[in-house]
Chains A and B, each alone.
Chain A
Amino acid sequence: MVPFESIWTQVAPLVARAERPSRYINREWGCVYKPDADFRFCMIYPDTYELGQANQALRILVNAVNAQPGMAAERGFLPAPEMCDALRAAGLPMFSIESCAPLAAFDAIGITLPHELAATNVLEAIDLAGLPLRALDRAEDDPLVLGGGPCAYNPEPYAPFFDAINIGEGEQSLPEGLAVIRDMRQQGATRRDIWRALARLDGWYVPALYRWRTAEEAQAAGSWIEPAEEGVPTTIVKRLFDGFATSSGWEPCIVPFAEAVHDRLNVEILRGCARGCRFCQAGMMYRPVRERSADNVVDAVVRGLAETGYDEVSLTSLSTTDHSQIADILERLNRHYEGTGVRISIPSQRLDSFGARMADLVAGQKKGGLTFAPEAGTQRLRDVINKNVTEDDLFGAVDAAFAAGWRRCKLYFMVGVPTETDEDVKGIARLVQQVYDHAKAIVPKEQKGSIQISASVALFVPKAHTPFQWCGQIAPEEALRRVNLLRHSVKYRAVSVSWHDPKTSFVEAVMSRSGREAAALVEGAWRRGARFDAWSECFREDAWRAAADEQGIDVEAVAQTGYPTDYVLPWEHISCGADRRWLAREHDLALREETTPDCTFGRCSGCGVCMKLGTDNQLAGERHD
């Protein structure tokens, strides 16, 4: 067993030479130290400090575990590439932030899976911790390696690397799982016995206890996993933190020294979004919708700013301006912070004049750019994806925004959405130009030159647990053709189109659509040097391609193959609560260009989440269109 002690004296000379020492030095305001704890957990973000420090899961789960008597939680971040190499060269392992202790000295480590391009970093972290990559190869006293987060909804490409994977919200299920590990270790239980106990807890998936079926077997059996022993569940249903709405919006947080992304107070004002966009995985994963009350949110902001010293707060959620009391919240905060220099921000706004009004409430005099996401250029295609907004909504938003003083507006679109035609692509150009015309009609003559409208275009990626999970992605050449068609269709010089060459999109597709066979691909890519795939300067396409060749995986086919809705997909043993028949019906409605309303504004759409999880939408007031 690796002793739990600080390795700072060995690490310090490397930190002194590192690119940004403040990534590694700890001692920030708000750190929690529990030297007397008898159980130690390290929560890892599989990327560098400045990307991970703002991560919500890290903050929430470290707090949740530290709230348990006798349990201590620390943070861990993957060192930057050069620092990973320097540590290896010096024979030093990856370490936690608070105690600077080797990861292998912890009882359990948790790694959040934030997006599809973090897989090789998961392996980099496990390896740099000095642990065997695969759960089956780990020794009895090695820490349990736990996974979770958005990408856990298709856990199979990561499955062999984790002892157990938490599905859904971890506020309660992580402390429960850790308590099982602690109690059983104290009793001298074997690793396998701990797996068995975890597999019997709600929301925990233990991949090693299941055999992976062949495609043929899976289609016949209706599931890709076969329990290898009695008593383990065949479906793992996500866990829900049902107390979210009434829990305090003030969640103690650490104030970093290093300049981190989203370096401000984040108050999560609501969780879940029921708008039902058919491409959106978050909209399916975080149901039902739960709002924290205006009183709760305002108290949380006031207390949070006072305790952290931040001068900016972001009211976070998937759809902040949908909160039933958002106007009240923003007006109260504005009054409270007038003249103090405190900034209030909302991450996205509803695509209508109400959304623009809310943005205006918090923008003050400083009006940078405003962002809206129509996603598709024609009403037909917006109906397909169930983006329930009309051109009038968009123009209403634009009119309100430019009248309020904004001069820059960015619009997000996707190409490659199922059923998309060239007319839809040209529709993007038409719509963006109409937006410019609206802006021009409102802005005073002498300021017309300052109007900037930009369209940012992304490639559609089919995501697990969405109505489009059965759909294939278009080929990269076709994507490029459509983007060029869009570019040529835009005639206005004041309108710009931005498009990032999606070199990594085949990795995203493989990670979001594959079964357990993709784990060997991830390992092969990592062994060939792939890591930090999300950093464009680090992405090693050759490593991924060579690994795919070695495994005989046709990555283009994985990305582009479509399936009928009765095809059993490799993640169907994981349930986000939404009924597969409902997802299939939504898929069919999409093809018929029929929309489904948001159940927080009207009647139930029958997704099945509330029934399955024994819950309901929890709104703080009535929502109004």
Chain B
Amino acid sequence: MTDPNAPRVFRLRATFIERDRLAMLSHLEVAHALERTVRRAGLPFAVSQGFSPHMKIAFGAALPVGVGSTCEIFDLQLREYVAADKALAALQQASVPDLMVQDCSYIENNAPAASVAFPFSTYEVRFDAPVSAVVVPETITVVRKRKEKTLVVSEFLTEPFTFDGDRATFTLEAKPTGSLRPDVLLQHCDCAADIVSITRIAQTA
């Protein structure tokens, strides 16, 4: 049950790009930078109550260090309604070019969080030469929290590689039990060319 006396909040969903050198930022660094962007933008963000008040902002699924994106997401709770185009303009004014907010729209207060709403991520990898095939391993063993874990690639790779010149795209599904990182998958693939960049180009439900 929601508290009928709770102050009304407005849930703004923003998408942003993370490109070029700023693809090297960690998820935490991006989160800090965006909080500061919101403050600079002067938006009437909601603040949590209690011992250590903080901005009510939530981030989408983490992007590995070194992977860029054209479609990252954060959800921000506002105390007052600000027209989405005005909020977008204010955020853009407060953003650095390579970590730039691209779009803003309001979502329902009970809409699922950005971090779980879009389990499918499509990545584009650019190689230093044209590529028409990569050899994908059946399993990949990763180390997490000092424990080895073997991932079956086909459980995650929901859309196989498609090729276009020096570019390829593929889609990975994030599972509640874990996920396969796109850079880790590519490290384990056999390929004739070297990777220039990896970019998340879509997050879908």
Contacts and interface: CB of A to CB of B under 8 A. Distances in A.
B47 A341 contact: yes
A25 B39 contact: no
Contacts of A15: 24
B58 interface: no
Contacts of A28: 96
A257 B40 contact: no
A89 interface: no
Contact of B24 (A22, A305, A309, A341): A22
B29 to A, nearest CB: 5
B40 A306 contact: yes
Given A258-B29, A259-B32, A340-B47, A21 B39 contact: no
Contacts of B47: 339-341
A76 B52 CA distance: 35
Given A16-B66, A21-B66, A26-B21, 11 more contacts: A22-B26, A27-B96, A27-B97, A306-B40, A309-B35, A309-B37, A311-B36, A311-B55, A339-B53, A340-B47, A366-B51
Interface string A250-288: 000001011100000000000000000000000000000
Interface string A305-326: 1111111000000000000000
A196 B62 CA distance: 57
B78 interface: no
Interface in B95-127: 96-98
A308 B24 contact: no
A309 B55 contact: no
B3 to A, nearest CB: 19
A214 interface: no
Nearest to B36: A309
Mostly, the A contact residues are loop
A335 B38 CA distance: 22
Contacts of B137: none
A310 B184 CA distance: 35
A365 B53 CA distance: 10
Contacts of A26: 21
A29 interface: yes
Interface string B162-181: 00000000000000000000
A27 B39 contact: no
Contact of B94 (A12, A16, A309, A365): A309
B75 to A, nearest CB: 18
A309 B90 CA distance: 13
A27 B22 contact: yes
A12 B21 CA distance: 8
Interface residues of A, number: 27
Q: What are the 4 A-B residue pairs with the smallest beta carbon separation, nearest first?
A: A309-B36, A21-B24, A309-B39, A309-B40
Interface in A293-347: 305-311, 339-341
Nearest to A340: B47
Contacts of B21: 8, 12, 25-27
A25 B22 contact: yes
A585 to B, nearest CB: 50
Contacts of A257: 22, 25, 29, 32-33
9 contacts: A16-B66, A22-B25, A29-B36, A257-B25, A307-B40, A308-B36, A309-B38, A311-B36, A341-B47
Contacts of B33: 29, 255, 257
Interface in A584-604: none
Interface in B51-109: 51-55, 65-66, 94, 96-98
Given A29-B96, A341-B53, A365-B51, A311 B24 contact: no
B130 interface: no
B24 A25 contact: yes
A618 B36 CA distance: 35
Contacts of B28: 259
A21 B65 contact: yes
Contacts of A311: 35-36, 39, 55
B42 interface: yes
Contacts of A341: 47, 53-55
Contacts of A25: 21-22, 24-25
A33 to B, nearest CB: 12
A306 B35 CA distance: 13
B92 to A, nearest CB: 13
